[in-house]
């Protein structure tokens, strides 16, 4: 079971400061590039606006979306398109997820979580496994979220676990309750499967 540090009441600026420190440390530990993965949705982008002010060597940062909706990158629902628009002007390289990609080890895997316990696009109906042999999968959530009714491409649990550290940013009492129950092993939703198999540090801003 993961060793989780739960941090309450942090605003976007505090989370951005934490992220900046982790990215700078990862870059300091290598002469090459460092890879991170991050979520889409509404939560990350105000954080990224603040992170953009940090003195990071962005040209050495490789950013992987944790998942995406299968839409063109110029579609408003594209996670990749939004991440690319936010970070490529700074010099970062943003990867387009395909099922043929080989996934690196991530310095940091930043995740969100849905109220149904899904992480990336690993929804409960997709029955994600901690020993999935595929690094990336194309999946169809069921039911399709009404705000984003699209098929998905997503990193699998083993790809997310191939990271030095896990970060969650969770907003709302309902999601927090699901996450804390997962920490205690009280259900078998995707987030609980990830946490049960995690051996690296996990930080959750809630």
User: How does DSSP assign 113-148, residue by residue?
Assistant: --TT--BTTB-GGG---TT-S-SEEEE--SSPPTTS
pLDDT for position 80: 96
Mean pLDDT of 5-29: 95
* pLDDT at residue 92 is higher than 90: yes
Quick one: tokens of 10? Answer: 């942090």
pLDDT-above-90 percentage for the chain: 89
Kindly report whether the peptide bond that precedes residue 143 is cis, defined as omega within 30 degrees of 0.
yes
Strands across the sheet containing 201-205 = 3-7, 201-205, 166-169, 108-111, 34-38, 61-65, 93-94
How many Cβ atoms are within 10 Å of 86's Cβ, its own excluded?
A: 19
Alpha carbon distance 138, 67 (integer Å): 10
* pLDDT at residue 147 is higher than 90: no
Alpha carbon distance 145, 194 (integer Å): 22
* pLDDT at residue 148 is higher than 90: no
Give residue 70's domain range.
3-205
Give 66: exposed, middle or buried? Use CB within 10 Å, 0-12, 13-18, 19+: buried
Token match 């099922």: residue? Answer: 99
pLDDT for position 99: 81
pLDDT for position 1: 65
| pTM, to two decimals | 0.94
Mean pLDDT of 77-103: 93
* pLDDT at residue 25 is higher than 90: yes
**Domains held by the chain: number:** 1
Q: What is the CATH number of the domain that holds 162?
A: 3.40.50.1360
Closest residue by Cα to residue 119 from 185, 194, 196: 194
pLDDT for position 2: 74
Give 96: exposed, middle or buried? Use CB within 10 Å, 0-12, 13-18, 19+: middle
Alpha carbon distance 159, 165 (integer Å): 12
Residues 6+ positions from 93 with CB-CB distance below 8 Å: 33, 61, 62, 63
């Amino acid at each position: 079971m993961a060793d989780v540090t739960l941090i309450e009441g942090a605003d976007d600026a505090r989370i951005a400061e934490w992220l900046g420190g982790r990215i700078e440390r990862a870059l300091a530990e290598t002469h090459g590039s460092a890879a991170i993965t991050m979520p889409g949705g509404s939560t990350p982008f105000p954080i990224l606006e603040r992170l953009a002010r940090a003195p990071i060597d962005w040209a050495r940062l490789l950013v992987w979306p944790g998942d995406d909706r299968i839409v063109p990158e110029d579609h408003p629902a594209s996670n990749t398109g939004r991440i690319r628009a936010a970070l490529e002007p700074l010099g970062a390289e943003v990867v387009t997820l395909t099922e043929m990609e080989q996934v690196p080890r991530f310095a940091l895997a930043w995740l969100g979580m849905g109220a149904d316990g899904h992480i990336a696009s690993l929804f409960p109906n997709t029955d994600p496994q901690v020993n999935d042999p595929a690094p990336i999968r194309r999946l169809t959530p069921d039911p399709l979220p009404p705000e984003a009714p699209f098929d998905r491409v997503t990193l699998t649990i083993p790809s997310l676990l191939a990271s030095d550290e896990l970060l969650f940013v969770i907003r709302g009492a309902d999601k927090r309750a699901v996450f804390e129950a997962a920490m205690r092993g009280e259900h078998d939703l995707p987030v609980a499967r990830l946490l049960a198999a995690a051996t690296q540090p996990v930080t959750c801003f809630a």
